[in-house]
Structure 1
């Protein structure tokens, strides 16, 4: 192998993001916004700061993204009852509808990306990439944030 695994994974992710953006451009959602929505689905009620850490963007970048998603009626901010300066984030019902449609596009994109691989090879690839991710996730102090 002439390329490092990091280069291959990063380049593959870049190509996947490009294909994703092309498939869902009519929805008005970008790949980064999709990540935000996906993480928010998993951690509904999370504060903006921990969500910014989770998706690895600066808090001001996340705030702007949330502003756009709020304007699109996909995300809503609710006051944090424990800290009046903080906001908790929630998906709107409209986001749920959008999630269903985009998941269909993602399924088609996955099929395209994995074309020519047998079911066993697809499973093996998934398991191997999961192991690489788990290896890289084992750093001191790393943990998933709590939603509430």
Structure 2
């Protein structure tokens, strides 16, 4: 069926499917990382700081789409757990840069293995060729959405 012809009552509508797939992957991943003691908030912080070491609290809050105070509380808890350290910014003493500790990087490695297994499980109905096609098409859609949102890829 042509996806453009489906409407809001159709579960096959591409917008619903994309939302459902993202939600279900997060749900499965959440359950799996819970076994190693991670909450969604923690794995989100670990992931963002792994990809952007040295981010400020404000930058982290923006990446997580939460307010600065909530980000600060999460950072405080993760610092107490020995997963995040604050380091002064060389150019602005009002800013602390956030870095993962060695322990947090170990947790991130375990979490990454779970993430890869989750994606592999989710994509298991697809052939190797279909996976490449899916990745390529998804990247094109993401690029277009980033352009529409005015953000860099």
Q: With the length of structure 1 as denominator, give the TM-score of the two structures.
A: 0.85
Q: Report the Cα distance in structure 1 between the residues aligned to 2:148 and 2:64, rounded to whole angstroms.
A: 16
Identify which of structures 1 and 2 has the higher relative contact order when contacts are C-alpha pairs closer than 8 Å and 6+ apart.
Answer: 1
Where does the alignment leave 5 or more consecutive residues of structure 1 unmatched? none
Alignment coverage as a number of residue pairs: 144
Runs of 5+ consecutive residues of structure 2 not aligned to the other structure: 4-9
Q: Answer yes or no: is 1:42 the counterpart of 2:51.
A: yes
- What is the distance in 1 between the residues matched to 2:17 and 2:41? 20
Structure-2 residue corresponding to 1:108: 117
Judging changes above 3 Å, is the alpha-carbon distance between structure 1 residues 54 and 143 closer, same or farther for their aligned structure 2 residues? Answer: farther
What's the counterpart of residue 84 of structure 2?
75
* Deviations, residues 50-96 of structure 1 (Å, cap 9, x unaligned): 22212322222211221222122111111223222221100100011
Whether the aligned pair in 2 keeps the contact of 1:70 and 1:76 (CA below 8 Å) is yes
Tell me, yes or no, if structure 1 residue 6 matches structure 2 residue 15.
yes
Structure showing greater Rg: 2
Cα root mean square deviation, aligned: 1.9
Match of 2:65 among 24, 33, 56: 56
